[in-house]
Amino acid sequence: MKIAVLGIGQMGYLLGRRLCEAGHTVHAWNRTRLKADQLAPFGATIHAEATDAVRTADIVICLLENGPAVNEVLFVGQVAQALKAEALVIDFSSIQPSEARDHAARLSALGISHLDAPMSGGTLGAEQGTLAIMVGGKPAAFSRAEAIFQVFGRATHVGPHGAGQLAKLANQMIVGITIGAVAEALLLCEKGGAKMAKVKEAISGGFADSRILQVHGQRMVERDFAPYGRMSIQHNDLRNALATAKEIGFDAPVTEMFEKLYRDGIEHGLGDLDQSALFVELASRNGINGVKDLL
């Protein structure tokens, strides 16, 4: 298939590369062209304008920073008008469900299909093709996109437009809150005199075990906060969750607390680190010295 990829950040590069390696014809665009140029060695055609990248595409993939950025590219930037009839837009960006529903309605008025398909698994999942993809939209559009989803990982159709974004918010609430629980628990043990690595080993396999404990907990033990999934992105997801909760009249006090913790960490200079760097914010609050010196 002819596929346009709009937004070549870390994830856009990895997914674009996988599409090229799977034999698809890929057209790529990024606001900063240098990032898109990384896909040229894999056979992608690089475009200076997003409208040129999508003109012949059967499927357009968006991997943009947030809802306003998607709106800017699709509608202000005239990409929607440049699409051929019956093209399919798959928005992998993490945005608010209400934004996804609005984009779907506006594209539908132009005869364009839409799926909101946020992902979980980060850059490691993108590299290995093991992403979990949560998809909202019409079943027929989902069926049409399944071959593309299989290149990236496992996709689940969870409901109508916006439902994929709701599922991603649920995912990010669980991830962000659990990272905080793991960090706080391990720091309690360290301050009390136990060895963090041994505590993690001891509770592995019990009810407290999780992928968060194994992956992010290990990063905390090793003080490795290289940005696999940035603090700033996790915070943005929690903000989107709270905005959606307010919209539908849902009280989310636990998410509110963690949104503030991540926000404080960003204000203290941790925004570009991995989301597991919430550990650093909590260590600082508890007077545990030396953690920031390792950053």
DSSP 187: H
Q: Kindly state the helix (H) or strand (E) to which residue 124 belongs, with its residue range.
A: helix 122-128
Going from the C-alpha of 164 to that of each of 118, 170, 256, the distances in angstroms are 6, 10, 22
DSSP 73: I
Out of 35, 84, 168, 246, which one is annotated catalytic? 168
Active-site residue flag, 84 = no
85 exposure class (CB count in 10 Å sphere: 0-12, 13-18, 19+): exposed
Alpha-helical (H) ranges within 135-252 are 139-152, 163-192, 196-203, 211-222, 231-248
**Among all residues, which ones are annotated catalytic?**
168
